[in-house]
Amino acid sequence: MSYPGATVAVVAPRPLISRRARQILTGYAYLIPAALCLGGTILFPILKAIHMSLYNHVLIRPQEYAFIGLGNYARVLHDEVFWLSLKNSAVWVFGSVSLQFVGGFAAALLLHQGFRGRAAVRTVTLIPWIIPGVVVALVWEWLYQPNYGVLNDLLLKAGLLRERVAWLSDPALAMPAVVAANVWRGVPFFAIMLLAGLQAIPDELYEAARVDGASVVGRFRHITLPLLRPIIVVATATRIIWTFNYADLIFVMTSGGPANATQITSTYTLLQAYSNLDFGYAATLSVVLLLIMLAFTIVYLRVTRGIESVS
Amino acid sequence: MDHGHRLSRRRLLQTLAASGVIAAADLAWWEEPFLAPRRAWGATPVRFQFSVPEPKRTALVESLAERFNKSQTEHEVKVEFVPQAQARQKLISSIAAGTPPDCCQVWDNWVGEFDGMGALEDLTGKVKDWKHYKDVLPLAWQTVTMKDRILSYPWVVTNDGLYWRTDRAKEYGVKPPRDDWNWDDFLAFTKAMTRPDKNQYGFGMRGQGTWAVLYATEFMYGNGAQVLKDGKVVINSKEAAEGLDWYLDLMRKHKVTPPSVPTDGWRQIVEGFGRGITNTYLHNSGSAEEQKGFVGADHFSTVPLPVGPAKKRASFYFSETLTMFKGGKNRDGAWKFCTWLMDDEPNAMYCKTLGLLPARKTLADRPEFAKDPALAGFVKSFPFSIVSPYLAYAGWGGKLDSEGVPLFQQAMVGKLSAKECLDRFAEVLTKNMK
């Protein structure tokens, strides 16, 4: 006997994979595009650089292309200019970042105060950070120009100099000069980061401290500084890594000269890659720099462990 | 709720599959893009790479390419402009990737590197049958000859001479330099032309870039030095060290140069003279036209380099070449375009507009070149001009800049003595004799 229009229940076949497994797989499937992007843009270049570093790969001598194992790494150990550039990098990074931090902190404290035209001043403060690095380098190169630059002109007119100084051509002055340009560029980064942190500190804490008779210095030491520490740790670590890899400014202003006085590891790597076209050695330098920065990051995070969770 | 426009899973899969098929079918077009520019009268394209040091050249080269395209119907030249600073690395990368342009304009010191990569063909036979072969200066052919094979066309030639301010010499009552002047005369002249109170210096020395090494070497040659002797590097000889010492003393001891020397490259020495900071500088004829615009044609002249204590002097010869690549897709078109550029009018127009010297004798003898006072110093330097000794090995090309220049800068700032600098420089050269 049949019932027209009636629905017949059919037993569904058992699925190949369970509902739980399907859910998990779906989750991973969503990650695939991001994983592919990261793998293609970060992991693959790193692996490729490691691979290249094991070969004698000079673009102008294709016939000499060969696997040389750790030959390039042995060359690094005996490369005087590399060690000099590493030393210069330390001066460049710590000189730049420490002064940027001090300047940025001072600017953030100032911008945190209420005064007329604060919004305009905050915008102006950002300008050095907005300008592209190459433009900053060209502007500062002109300022430092010994023969017709404004810096010498002003100092001579003020009677602070007796003769023109070649800021970028004197090995003793070239590094401080490029660091000063980099400090000018980096101060806004710290100013904005720290200002955001300052604005997140509740006013009640300062009021309570004031009621308890805490001085300005006391309030800064016991409230501002501890609560800003997480931002300070993250901002300085990021900035150190950026500055270590940042070549534009020096490349345009001095090309690493005079006499390698401003040669840092990133400009030296560029020189090997694009002047000598020695891709194997340039890749080796990149891998060594990656390891140095990795070691630095691990040590830095260990030293500052716990600080970022103070708040 | 309207479900009519919702994309079903089946439709999505169908769409993806269809787009995959279209993409796969389109792969065939990669070699020759579907949206390729329309070719006039079936002309095959010729890729010509030109490194651009200034906007004037861009306009000039575009106009030359257009004239060539109109002069025939078989080939259509497309100019690819590349900043000069990146031209070498871009060309080498494209050769390594198997996609070089059909032809390009480059300095002869790169030709050896291209040859080392096996990217150039031996043009000797073809060139010797070319109608203007004998009209090109033999020295110009030397600049593009390696291991007895002609590898390029010398489009224009250049050698080094000294630019000097005629108006300032007159103002300061300084005797103009003679064509046969010597090092003492040169020192006296640059001293007299140095006026620190006016922010003026007697000599714009170059401290940055490959030519910083070459200019210093020319002075070492004046003292009897050589780069190579019997197949060995001898640039660290006593004569070379003394010559370098004397040259660097212009900056270190006599202070007739601006303080910025160690970081002054081509742009800085040309602009330093143009802005009136320096009253002489050493360069090739390539900046003569620019200086006419900067300081005025009546305010400067050129003179050969001074004679050194060894009663010698040398001006290094270079050529701006037209180079064709083995891997080019239209070698016939490249050949026709390059030979057309070497013809009377295109060649003369290029050189005249830019103030350069043609490699062809009949053109160089024309009054606009032979009688131009801005070029006089270079024409008079021809008798003692030699092909740059640094063209001997392809492996020296990049090393002059990356390792030679920092060594010379260290000698400039007193971190190394001239002898120490040259000993280390000789090591670099010896290691790279490939």
Contact state of A169 with B277 under an 8 Å Cβ cutoff: no
In the predicted model, is pLDDT for residue A167 greater than 90? yes
Q: What is the pLDDT of residues B325-352, one digit of tens each?
A: 999 999 999 999 999 999 999 999 999 8
CATH number at residue A221: 1.10.3720.10
Cα gap A16→B80, rounded to integer Å? 58
Residues in chain A within 8 Å Cβ distance of B109: none
Q: Which of A29, A51, A67 is the C-terminal boundary of a domain?
A: A67
* Minimum mean pLDDT range among A170-174, B4-8, B370-374: B4-8
In a domain, A8, yes or no: no
Please tell me whether residues A155 and A287 are part of one structural domain. Answer: yes
Contact state of A166 with B118 under an 8 Å Cβ cutoff: no
In a domain, A1, yes or no: no
Contact state of B264 with A169 under an 8 Å Cβ cutoff: yes
In a domain, A5, yes or no: no
Q: How far is B134 from chain A (nearest CA, A)?
A: 32
Whether B143 contacts B154, CB under 8 Å? yes
Q: For residue A260, what is the nearest residue in chain B, using CA coordinates? A: B406
Please tell me whether residues A161 and A23 are part of one structural domain. Answer: no
Tell me the domain boundaries of chain B.
42-158+318-375, 160-316+390-431
Please tell me whether residues A163 and A257 are part of one structural domain. Answer: yes
Q: What is the pLDDT of residue B18?
A: 66
Contact state of B263 with A164 under an 8 Å Cβ cutoff: no
Residues in chain B within 8 Å Cβ distance of A62: 96, 117-118
Hey, which residues 29-88 in chain A have their CB within 8 Å of chain B? 59-63, 81
Hey, which residues 131-160 in chain B have their CB within 8 Å of chain A? none
In a domain, A12, yes or no: no
Q: For residue A252, what is the nearest residue in chain B, using CA coordinates? A: B263
Contact state of A170 with B409 under an 8 Å Cβ cutoff: no
Highest mean pLDDT among B96-100, B351-355, B398-402: B96-100
In a domain, A14, yes or no: no
CA A199 vs. chain centroid, Å, equals: 24
Residues in chain B within 8 Å Cβ distance of A168: 260, 263
Q: For the structural domain made of B42-158+318-375, what CATH number should be given? A: 3.40.190.10
In a domain, A116, yes or no: yes
Please tell me whether residues A63 and A181 are part of one structural domain. Answer: no
In angstroms, the first-to-last Cα distance of chain B is: 77
Please tell me whether residues A56 and A129 are part of one structural domain. Answer: no
Domains B42-158+318-375 and B160-316+390-431 share a fold: yes
- Cβ neighbours of residue B256 under 8 Å, at least 6 residues apart? B187, B190, B191, B193, B194, B201, B202, B203, B250
| Domain, as residue range, for A53 | 19-67
Q: What is the pLDDT of residues A98-157, one digit of tens each?
A: 999 999 999 999 999 888 888 888 888 889 999 999 999 999 999 999 888 999 999 999
Whether B106 contacts B323, CB under 8 Å? yes
In a domain, A31, yes or no: yes
- Count of alpha carbons within 13 angstroms of residue A262, beta-carbon side: 31
Mean pLDDT of the region B72-80: 92
Residues in chain A within 8 Å Cβ distance of B83: none
Contact state of B399 with A274 under an 8 Å Cβ cutoff: no
Q: Does B242 touch chain A (CB under 8 A)?
A: no
Q: Does A271 touch chain B (CB under 8 A)?
A: yes
In a domain, A10, yes or no: no
What is the phi/psi pair of residue B328, to 5°? Answer: -65, 150
In the predicted model, is pLDDT for residue B1 greater than 50? no
Q: What is the pLDDT of residue B27?
A: 43
Find which of B257, B413, B424 to mutate to test the A interface (most A CBs within 10 Å of its CB): B413
Please tell me whether residues A194 and A275 are part of one structural domain. Answer: yes
Contact state of A147 with B260 under an 8 Å Cβ cutoff: yes
Task: State the total domains in chain A.
Answer: 2
Cα gap B263→A144, rounded to integer Å? 12
Q: How buried is residue B376: exposed, middle or buried, by Cβ count under 10 Å (0-12/13-18/19+)?
A: middle
Q: For residue B112, what is the nearest residue in chain A, using CA coordinates? A: A60
Q: What is the pLDDT of residues A263-305, one digit of tens each?
A: 999 999 999 998 888 999 999 999 999 999 999 888 888 877 6
Of B275, B413, B434, Cβ closest to residue A258: B413
Q: Which of A67, A96, A124 is the C-terminal boundary of a domain?
A: A67
Task: Give the SS3 label for residue B119.
Answer: coil
pTM for the full model?
Answer: 0.79
CATH class of B160-316+390-431: alpha beta
Task: Give the SS3 label for residue A113.
Answer: coil
B56 or B73: which leads in pLDDT: B73
At residue A201's C-alpha, the angle toward residues A198 and A205, to 5°, is 130
Cα gap B407→B213, rounded to integer Å? 9
Please tell me whether residues A94 and A227 are part of one structural domain. Answer: yes
Please tell me whether residues A118 and A252 are part of one structural domain. Answer: yes
Q: For residue B396, what is the nearest residue in chain A, using CA coordinates? A: A276
Q: Which of A33, A67, A101 is the C-terminal boundary of a domain?
A: A67
Contact state of B258 with A146 under an 8 Å Cβ cutoff: yes
In the predicted model, is pLDDT for residue B36 greater than 60? no
Please tell me whether residues A40 and A79 are part of one structural domain. Answer: no
